[in-house]
Amino acid sequence: VLSLELNKDRDVERIHGSSINTLDIEPVEGRYMLSGGSDGVIVLYDLENLSRKPSYTCKALFSVGRSHPDVHKFSVETVQWYPHDTGMFTSSSFDKTLKIWDTNTLQPADVFHFEGTVYSHHMSPVATKHCLIAVGTKSPKVQLCDLKSGSSSHILTGHRQEVLAVSWSPRHEYVLATGSADGRVKLWDVRRASGCLSTLDQYNGEKSKSSSEAANTAHNGRVNGLCYTSDGLHLLTIGTDDRMRLWNSSTGENTLVNYGKVCNESRKGLKFAISCGCNPEFAFVPYGSTIAVYTVFTGELITMLRGHYSAVNCCVFQPHYQELYSGSKDCNILAWIPAPREPVPDDISEKSLPQQHVNPAYEDAWSSSDDEG
């Protein structure tokens, strides 16, 4: 991750004629990627290098284009693969619908209709006992759509304004996090009648009682992005107060990690990603036309990935190869691949090489006993 750079040998076929808002890579093989654009178009790519040549283009296998009878009428804000196989994927849009697609026929198997714009939806990556899709819309009520029954009867009430981001815990299948324009982040257990487990408080309960107005807000602005760490123990949130916060997801405590100013002017959901299978963990956050890479637990800004010509809207991490893909207003999807390290010839021992500058996140704090004797 520390050596990620724009891959000059890999292109992603350019199909979208408008801003790319959302990307998702299927978790089974990590081979197929979906993208959704602000013209309603959805594209499916094969990331595998079938040509076996060093330079190649990730081909679009097919797309739900403007001429498709079931294409979304307005901007697609979220696409997600069904977590357990690639036979199905989901998309939601400003056209107030959530569609469940059969990958093989490219026909919607089901369509859910809402009263307002849909900003975000999410299926649990770990659920075995339920098939609920959480949906954040212009309404302050969080909707839960049941894939089994095809109904969206279940509603979670508690937010005061539109819900911009929703994310299921990767650890507990009934726990859901939601972020709203009211500045609040709520954790829910969808089995409970009241639903809400806790409302995250940036001050950890230490704000004076006199100013009750700001009590129990996670951000002093709209909360438009949420992402759990891969173990589900922490939740990262981002808001239009230009702040990112890391929370202990079981206690609800603000860990007070300082990431500095994280510029965020998005009026809708911001899709950022956290690495998986790395130690330490990294967050990849769209930051204007760049992607800022932070270490999650220290808040250090490691690097800015530059390559897009316009605002970056979304990024997705591919854990098998530690790659990153990003989508932007410039209609491009870029692939960021770890740079290959120069091999050290066998006849030169490591010690005689000039010490390369080691990124602090790599540095080994242990000393070997040889150095001390």
Region 264-285: what's the mean pLDDT?
Answer: 91
Instruction: Give tens-digit pLDDT for 106-128.
Output: 999 999 999 999 999 999 999 99
Instruction: Give tens-digit pLDDT for 237-248.
Output: 999 999 999 999
Instruction: Report the pLDDT value the prediction gives residue 344, as an integer from 0 to 100.
Output: 60
Confidence of residue 56 (pLDDT cuts 50, 70, 90): very high
Cis? peptide before 280, omega within 30° of 0: yes
Instruction: Report the pLDDT value the prediction gives residue 202, as an integer from 0 to 100.
Output: 96
Domains and CATH numbers, the chain: 4-338 (2.130.10.10)
Chain-wide mean pLDDT for the chain? 90
Region 61-78: what's the mean pLDDT?
Answer: 97
Instruction: Report the pLDDT value the prediction gives residue 86, as an integer from 0 to 100.
Output: 94
Instruction: Report the pLDDT value the prediction gives residue 267, as an integer from 0 to 100.
Output: 79
In this predicted model, which residue has the larger pLDDT, 349 or 343? 343
Distance CA 185, CA 312 (A): 24
Please give the angle made by the CA atoms of 96, 102 and 105, to the nearest 5 degrees.
115
Please, what's the b/e burial string for 300-322 (b: 16 or more CB within 10 A of its CB; e: otherwise)? bebbebebbeebbbbbbbbeeeb
- Write the DSSP assignment of 349-364 as a string of letters: -GGGSPPPPPPTTT--
pLDDT of residue 215 exceeding 90, the answer is no
pLDDT of residue 177 exceeding 60, the answer is yes
Instruction: Give tens-digit pLDDT for 294-348.
Output: 999 999 999 999 999 999 999 999 999 999 999 999 999 999 998 876 666 665 5
Instruction: Give tens-digit pLDDT for 183-194.
Output: 999 999 999 878
Yes or no: say if 315 and 286 are a contact pair by the CB < 8 Å rule.
Answer: yes
Instruction: Report the pLDDT value the prediction gives residue 194, as an integer from 0 to 100.
Output: 81
The DSSP output letter for 254 is B
